[in-house]
Amino acid sequence: MKHTERARVRPSGRSFPWQWLLALTVVPLLVGCHHSSDSSTTELRAIHASADAPNVDIVVNGSTVLTNVPYETASAFLSIPSGTTSIAVNPTGSSTSVLNTSASLQANHQYSAIVVGSAAASAPSDQQLQAILVDDPGNTPATGNVKVRVVHGAPGVPAVDVYVTAPGVALPDAPTIAGLAYTAMAPASGTSALEVPGGSYEIRITVAGDQTKAVVFDSGTVPLPANGDLLVTAVPASGIAPVNLLVAPAGGSAAVIADARAAVRIGHLSPNVPAVDVSVNVAQSASSVLTLPNVAFPTVSGYSVLPGGSYDASVALASNPGTPVLTLNGATLPSGSSTSVFAIGLLGGTGAQALQLAAYTDDRVPMQGMAKVRVIHLAPDAPAVDVVVLGTGGAIAETLVSNLSYPNATSSDLQVPPGSYTLAVVPTGMMSPVLPTAAGVTVTLQGGQVLTIAAVGCLNISSGPCANGAPFSFKVLSDN
């Protein structure tokens, strides 16, 4: 599939078996170890679970013990003095702490300081950067078992129910962990972790109390290794699920479990193409997973959930279903991803205007108190444009996006306060003409909303390659 510029928050797409992450630079005077028997020391590690925070340095009792720690990374355990301990987090290379906390650490325990929350100044106070301190008494699991503790570290995601089951079985009546709220953990800090026999499991998450038990995260089959010791943190995700699982094993590097499924929506946004039939099959097979008949411009389907994997797609005119006008073989939908696939361009078009399937990676994570808007230029005969807000009398009050050319999307979502806006486009660097109409199009945005606004259709429908095509307009799509 043809991929355009990606959204700001990257989807992970990683899953078991482990993909080892970057090693951390540890100050040589502090030697990491798995467990200390010295009654005057304890063990501490840092886990970076804030999606929008930069790489960080970890400062313990005034000394930098870890440097340049990236997102979705856990350090090794460090041996430090027990007792009252200050823990500070600084952006790498800065002496200014973005978070500072103090705790009394008991000897011979294992502590994990998890940095969660948002670094954005606009984040609500309860979702700003903070540290969750997890106290594990350090006991080893029973032979053949694996220790598991789960932390909710995804700001803006409501309380969840967590089900840990054998793969493929129906959800039981009661969750394994019920009503886990943001910053909470189960079992509680300072108590022994949950133990289950080592083996293959499926981890599924639903919104707490949802009577329909709609699964918002599904790990697929994952191994939980016998005799392992795992701290699992739910972190923000931008694809099919609102979270990924950051798994930090004691004595090993962290890795991410993404949702094993993929979400895809399909749209007919080719302005001179009549209604089409769309078919999606498992790659190199006749196994159909998605069929959309008689899809007319500018229809866009809702999201369909499929197993992550490779697929073949074909598009045929509804009037001649046996002869595809577009085919796409071996297209990968990564686990955990959300993708919009649009038929764009012109029937009979050449070069950039040729009929084609274009794929756009979706960032569907809502932002508390703000709307997120992605703009895509899909009008094949339009020049590069600026996306503007019109004010009183139709004058341009603000330029939101500059020099957006066909068939590109904005490189990062716009973060816009709630309210009503009159949006329009003009040729880049110009004040006119204002499109799609002289009055623009009014869009009402709400906090937490995620939208895609696509410029579609043709500027010139009387002659040229777009003759008799659909006229220029905005297509507004809800992404969440």
Q: Which DSSP string do the residues of 376-392 spell out, in sequence order?
A: EE--TT---EEEEEE-G
Pairing between strand 414-416 and 419-427? unpaired
Q: Take residue 80 and report the two structure tokens written for it.
A: 């430090």
Q: Take residue 115 and report the two structure tokens written for it.
A: 């940095």
User: What's the whole-model pTM score?
Assistant: 0.78
Q: Are residues 374 and 452 in contact, defined by beta-carbon separation less than 8 angstroms? A: yes
d(CA 387, CA 17): 44
Q: Are residues 359 and 338 in contact, defined by beta-carbon separation less than 8 angstroms? A: no
Structural domains of the chain in order of their starting residue, each with its CATH number: 10-249 (no CATH), 260-362 (2.60.40), 367-480 (2.60.40.1120)
CB burial class (10 A; 0-12, 13-18, 19+) of residue 292?
A: middle
| β-sheet with 396-404: strand ranges across | 396-404, 385-390, 419-427, 441-445
- pLDDT tens for the chain, residues 1 to 480: 433 433 333 333 333 333 222 222 232 222 333 444 556 899 999 999 999 888 988 899 999 988 888 999 999 999 999 999 998 888 888 888 877 888 899 999 999 999 999 888 878 888 888 889 999 998 889 999 999 999 999 998 999 999 999 999 999 999 999 999 999 999 999 999 999 999 999 999 999 999 999 999 999 999 999 999 999 999 998 889 999 999 999 988 899 999 999 999 999 999 999 999 999 999 999 889 999 999 999 999 999 999 999 999 999 999 999 899 999 999 999 998 999 999 999 999 999 999 999 999 999 888 778 899 999 999 999 999 999 999 988 899 999 999 999 999 999 899 999 999 999 999 999 999 999 998 999 999 998 899 999 999 999 999 999 999 999 999 999 998
Q: How far is CA 101 from each of CA 85, 154, 453, rounded to the nearest angstrom?
A: 8, 20, 42
Residue 420 dihedral angles phi and psi, to the nearest 5°: -100, 135
CB burial class (10 A; 0-12, 13-18, 19+) of residue 93?
A: exposed
d(CA 30, CA 456): 59
Closest CA relative to residue 240, chosen from 257, 264, 211, 221: 264
Closest CA relative to residue 88, chosen from 106, 110, 71, 69: 69
